[in-house]
Amino acid sequence: MTLLTRELAARIGEERVYTAPEPLGRAAIRYFALATGDTDPAHLAGDVAPPTLICETNQYAGLPRDADGYAGHGWHLDVPGTRLVRGGNAYRFERPVGPDDVITARWKLADMTERVTGGGRTMLIVTSVATYTDQAGRVLAVNEETLIHVAR
Partner 1 sequence: MSLVREQKIELPDMIAYAGATWDWHKLHYDADYLRERGLDRPVVDGQVFGAYLAIALREWFGPDAVITALSFRFKSLVFAGETIRCVGTVVREEAGTVDVDLRVEVVEGGRIAVAPASATLTLP
Q: Which residues bind partner 1 (CB under 8 A)?
A: 28, 31-32, 34-40, 42, 50-53, 55-59, 61, 65, 68-72, 85-93, 146
Rounded CA-CA distance 106/18 in Å is: 6
State the minimum distance, in angstroms, from the CB of residue 10 to partner 1. Answer: 28
Min separation Cβ 6 and partner 1, Å: 29
Q: Is 143 exposed, middle or buried (0-12, 13-18, 19+ CB in 10 A)?
A: buried
Q: Which residues pair with 104 in a beta bridge?
A: 19, 133
DSSP state of 136: T
- Kindly state the smallest distance separating residue 152's Cβ from partner 1, in Å: 13
Cβ proximity to partner 1: between 92 and 138 the closer is: 92
Choice between 2 and 39, CB closer to partner 1: 39
Is-contact 151 122, C-beta < 8 A? yes
